[in-house]
């Protein structure tokens, strides 16, 4: 029994010690992002195994080899992308408040989705759709550094947790959703839009709904086809078997879902009416082209 207790104590110490090495930097590794990609920007052959070495507390360097950031958290819940929370390089576990996120392919075979994400920024920003501010886009690599958006709910989780949201806040969220959909009027389709991609930002500057990510190409509205809208696209998703089954929407959420569908239906009608007016500002297809490298990195703390 004494030997068993000793082995148990050693195991606990080992686990606690390993857990404490993350954001304290005691065992942090410094990675240059270029190690994951070939010279032409394509992921290396062993990319999938290489990115598994990244852990919270590590430091990553961008391709200039100078700007360094501490990894505050790693999120793999997305289907196509790996998301790293970025903190100041001197941050510890106590003060590691992320100010940006880094997105890269979750697997080597998913790089095409990152290409579409990069290309989509240009169109969305030109069209005025609220999205996280992109700070840096690596060309030709598959990496984006963008604004970290604090949020409490996605549209999907808000519907599912309506019972815990005060009525006044819920009405505000519906009003903000209506305003968001109005800003999508230039598009007949927003990537692979679904309710898990819309987040309700909680900061004063960003309060309201934002499109957090997308892994498919956007389609612009055309003068001869004005009845397809992002609002109808989202309505279709919310009433699909996918939403009702795989994403957990159920009859218990019907009242909240009905509120959201009413907002989307009204937004769809308004957008179609505006598109039908002479002089509606349809976007040129050129804005769907490749996004050029951005120069906002000076806004991000450096070491």
Owner of token pair 């959420």: 253
| Neighbour order of strands in the sheet with 30-32 | 30-32, 59-61, 68-75, 81-87, 100-105, 144-147, 134-137
Share above pLDDT 90 across residues of the chain, in percent, rounded to a whole number: 37
Query: Is this structure's pTM higher than 0.95?
Result: no
Mean pLDDT, rounded, of the chain: 80
Structure confidence by residue, pLDDT tens digits, 210-253: 998 887 889 999 998 899 999 999 999 998 866 766 677 877 79
Nearest to 116 by CA among 24, 214, 39: 214
Per-residue pLDDT averaged across 107-128, rounded?
Answer: 82
C-beta neighbour count of 16 within 10 angstroms: 9
Output 89 or 301, whichever has higher pLDDT.
89
C-alpha distance from residue 297 to each of 132, 135, 147 (Å): 14, 6, 11
Output 142 or 204, whichever has higher pLDDT.
142
pLDDT at 190 over 80: yes
């Amino acid at each position: 029994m004494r030997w068993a207790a000793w082995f148990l104590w050693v195991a606990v110490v080992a686990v606690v010690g390993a857990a404490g090495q993350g954001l304290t930097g005691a065992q942090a590794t410094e990675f240059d992002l270029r190690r994951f990609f070939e010279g032409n920007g394509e992921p290396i052959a062993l990319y999938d195994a290489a990115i598994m070495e990244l852990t919270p507390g590590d430091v990553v360097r961008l391709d200039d080899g100078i700007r360094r950031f501490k990894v505050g958290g790693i999120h793999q819940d997305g289907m196509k992308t790996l998301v790293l929370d970025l903190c100041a390089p001197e941050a510890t576990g106590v003060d590691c408040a992320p100010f940006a996120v880094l997105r890269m392919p979750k697997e080597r075979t998913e790089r095409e989705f990152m290409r579409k994400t990069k290309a989509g920024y240009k169109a969305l920003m030109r069209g005025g759709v609220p999205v996280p501010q992109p700070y840096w886009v690596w060309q030709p690599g598959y990496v984006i550094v963008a604004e970290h958006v604090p949020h409490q709910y996605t549209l999907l989780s808000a519907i599912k947790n309506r019972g815990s949201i005060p009525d006044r806040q819920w009405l505000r969220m519906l009003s903000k959703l209506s305003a968001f959909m109005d800003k999508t009027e230039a598009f007949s389709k927003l990537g692979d839009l679904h309710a898990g991609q819309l987040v309700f930002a909680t900061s004063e500057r960003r309060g309201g709904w934002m499109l957090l990510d997308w892994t498919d190409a956007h389609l612009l509205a055309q003068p001869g086809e004005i009845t397809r809208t992002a609002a109808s696209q989202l309505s279709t998703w919310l009433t699909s078997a996918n939403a009702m089954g795989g994403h957990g929407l159920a009859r218990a959420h019907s009242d909240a879902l009905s509120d959201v569908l009413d907002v989307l239906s009204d937004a769809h009608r308004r957008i179609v009416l505006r598109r039908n007016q002479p002089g509606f500002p349809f976007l040129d297809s050129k804005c769907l082209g490749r996004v050029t490298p951005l120069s906002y990195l000076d806004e991000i703390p450096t070491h």
